[in-house]
């Protein structure tokens, strides 16, 4: 392709080499911003017309041409050219071919620097809105499980050792809370995404009498970026989104680890629907939890994207630098990974089958009500440290007898303290342990049901 196809070709005496074209082109990945690029250009053209820089005839031609281009993009007939480097130049060149000089006038008062910054913000704003909807959908799936198992006893773990009885519903609600914080972070990040850089031009603003607030209004931005240098070089919003996404993926990775463990025969707490699992090429009995395993792996991918963006920006002088072309691939990959993970998890959690009997057996294997026995003694007037020591000896005895605390006879328990009487027996049951934790945030079934009701009201479901 002849060098005069470049918008800046008049400055150069020879065409760009083919290798450099391929190395510097971004159209292979930034073409996904085509629709928001057109949206931004139409708002810019409308603003130029409003301030008297662009005629009504030119505006109409641009609007007509852009509508045709948008149709071509949506039906897959638009031909992308690596020679035109990026999504912006591909669309502008096609517009000029369609409407002539009006297409050439579209770029008045802007630069690709503020144009791309605007496109990324428009794209990311839309992506966040989709992701927030998917977070809510996953929370709804978890709430459905929690409601069904508000009273299903399972062991709570610390250090992966049986600690105290909880309910499966309470456990699911922990992830609902995590996702709630993820939604708050993403919604808060969206506020900083939703600022208009267009009008900053290359770095110093423009000599044309533009109305940036009008453009912001047309595009649904909350306001404008107030400093032209910062407007074209800022990628904080992309880093902030990726950081929030990394945290969300970390939460899903933790859930994934638990699902993998719980599905193992050594636990046997749950089963995952077949459509989310695979078999083995050699072992016919295998049913592998591939989705949760892959989510653990993809979390590292999103963490890597965050580090990539932080490293990209750490040494850049103001204002725009070509380095910033490298912001899109990690950002796009983060959007895709989080979006796909949330979508599949919302469906997968609806296909989880809980096995209450296995959970109940596990509760009886680790002296889960030992703390309840200590609390019982404290309520009888014993200092907690003394109660702790007494219960530790009782646990050692029960372990030697290969019994759970609840399986010991009252006469056996009484040998450890004269304060232990018949009223201790319900305290040592998992149900008694659960019921005693009847406070805000506690695992008592009544509290679990109240938490579920609160979240349902909050999510409007």
Name the active-site residue from 9, 55, 264, 280: 280
Can you list the pairs that 272-281 forms with residues at least 24 positions away whose Cβ atoms lie under 8 Å? 272/348, 272/351, 272/352, 272/353, 273/348, 273/351, 273/352, 273/353, 275/351, 276/344, 276/347, 276/348, 276/351
Q: Cα 277 to chain center, whole Å?
A: 23
Query: If you write DSSP's letter for every residue of 217-258 in order, what string do you get?
Result: HHHT-SEE-S-HHHHHH--HHHHHHHHHHHHHHHHHHHHHHH
Q: Which residues touch 195 (CB under 8 Å, ≥6 apart)? A: 121, 221, 222, 223, 224, 225, 237
Indicate if 251 belongs to the active site. no
Element (H, E) at 158: strand 153-158
Supply 262's token pair: 């719980």
How many CA atoms lie within 13 Å of 461's alpha carbon, on the beta-carbon side? 15
Q: Is the Cβ–Cβ distance between 326 and 316 less than 8 Å?
A: no
Q: Is the Cβ–Cβ distance between 242 and 250 less than 8 Å?
A: no
Q: Is the Cβ–Cβ distance between 293 and 286 less than 8 Å?
A: no
Indicate if 171 belongs to the active site. no
Q: Specify the 3-state DSSP secondary structure of 272.
A: strand
Q: Is the Cβ–Cβ distance between 162 and 368 less than 8 Å?
A: yes
Bridge partners of residue 111, in order along the sequence: none
Q: Is the Cβ–Cβ distance between 343 and 134 less than 8 Å?
A: yes
Q: Is the Cβ–Cβ distance between 309 and 331 less than 8 Å?
A: yes
- Report d(CA 183, CA 129) in Å as an integer: 10
Q: Is the Cβ–Cβ distance between 363 and 154 less than 8 Å?
A: yes
Q: Is the Cβ–Cβ distance between 102 and 182 less than 8 Å?
A: no
Name the active-site residue from 13, 17, 159, 315: 159
Q: Which residues are catalytic?
A: 159, 280
């Amino acid at each position: 392709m002849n060098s005069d196809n470049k918008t800046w070709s008049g400055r150069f005496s020879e065409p760009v080499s083919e290798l450099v074209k391929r190395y510097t082109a971004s159209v292979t990945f930034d073409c996904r911003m085509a629709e928001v690029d057109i949206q931004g250009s139409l708002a810019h053209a409308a603003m130029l017309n409003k301030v008297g820089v662009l005629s009504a005839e030119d505006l109409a031609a641009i609007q007509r041409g852009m509508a045709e281009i948008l149709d071509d993009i949506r039906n897959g007939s638009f031909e992308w050219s690596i020679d035109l480097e990026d999504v912006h130049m591909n669309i502008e060149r096609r517009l000029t071919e369609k409407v002539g000089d009006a297409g050439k006038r579209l770029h008045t008062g802007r630069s690709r620097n503020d144009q791309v910054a605007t496109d990324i913000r428009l794209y990311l704003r839309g992506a966040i809105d989709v992701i927030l909807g998917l977070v809510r959908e996953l929370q709804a799936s978890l709430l459905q499980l929690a409601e069904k198992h508000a009273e299903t006893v399972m062991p709570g773990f610390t250090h992966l050792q049986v600690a105290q009885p909880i309910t499966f519903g309470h456990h699911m609600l922990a992830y609902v809370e995590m996702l709630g914080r993820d939604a708050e972070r993403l919604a808060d990040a969206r506020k900083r995404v939703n600022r208009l850089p267009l009008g900053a031009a290359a770095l110093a603003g423009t000599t044309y009498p533009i109305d940036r607030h009008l453009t912001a209004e047309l595009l649904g931005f909350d306001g404008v970026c107030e400093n032209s240098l910062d407007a074209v070089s800022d990628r904080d919003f992309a880093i902030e989104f990726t950081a929030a996404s990394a945290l969300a993926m970390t939460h899903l990775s933790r859930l994934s680890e638990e699902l993998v463990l719980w599905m193992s025969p050594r636990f046997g707490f749950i089963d995952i629907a077949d459509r989310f699992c695979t078999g083995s090429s050699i072992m016919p009995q295998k049913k592998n939890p591939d989705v949760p395993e892959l989510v653990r792996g993809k979390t590292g991918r999103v963490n890597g994207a965050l580090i990539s963006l932080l490293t990209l920006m750490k040494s850049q002088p103001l204002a725009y630098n070509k380095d910033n072309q490298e912001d899109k691939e990690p950002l796009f990959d983060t959007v895709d990974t989080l979006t796909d993970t949330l979508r599949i998890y919302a469906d997968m959690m609806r296909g989880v089958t809980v096995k209450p009997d296995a959970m109940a057996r596990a509760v009886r294997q680790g002296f889960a009500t030992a703390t309840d026995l200590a609390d019982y003694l404290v309520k009888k007037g014993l200092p907690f440290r003394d109660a702790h020591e007494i219960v530790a000896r009782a646990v050692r005895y029960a372990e030697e007898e290969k019994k759970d605390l609840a399986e010991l006879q009252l006469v056996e328990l009484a040998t450890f303290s004269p304060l232990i009487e018949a009223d201790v027996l319900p305290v040592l049951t998992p149900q008694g342990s659960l019921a005693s934790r009847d406070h805000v945030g506690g695992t008592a079934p009544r509290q679990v049901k109240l938490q579920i009701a609160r979240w349902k009201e909050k999510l409007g479901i």
